[in-house]
Amino acid sequence: MTQETINAVREWGIEKGIIGPNGKATEHTQFAKLLEEIDELRIGIIKDDHDEKIDAIGDCAVVLILLSEIIGVPLEECLESAYNVIKSRSGKMIDGVFVKDK
């Protein structure tokens, strides 16, 4: 995901009236949209449909970019904040899941 693509998604969101001064989306509506896209990802994983998984992950990213704009914190800042929390986290893999140390 390049900065150019993130900015293009923001512009698309403004053009479509999702975000921006005339934006009609809310945290609640975007969260509902995210759940819809996550369900599409779940189905893609169940069906092992590679193209569907790619599309759904991309759609989730679009929704997260727009949702972060609605809450007033750019996605880049959200990602940096999360990374700063996890970067020194220790733990181990258990059954394919990273379990952090307490």
Mean residue pLDDT of the chain comes to 96
Start-to-end C-alpha separation, the chain: 32
pTM of the model: 0.91
pLDDT at 38 over 90: yes
For residue 102, what pLDDT is reported? 85
For residue 1, what pLDDT is reported? 82
Beta strands in the chain (DSSP E): 91-94, 97-100
Share of the chain above pLDDT 90, in %: 97
For residue 60, what pLDDT is reported? 98
Determine the average pLDDT of the residues in 63-73.
98
Q: For the chain, what are the domain ranges? A: 3-100
Task: Tell me which CATH code domain 3-100 carries.
Answer: 1.10.287.1080
For residue 81, what pLDDT is reported? 97
8 Å CB contact between 34 and 64 = yes
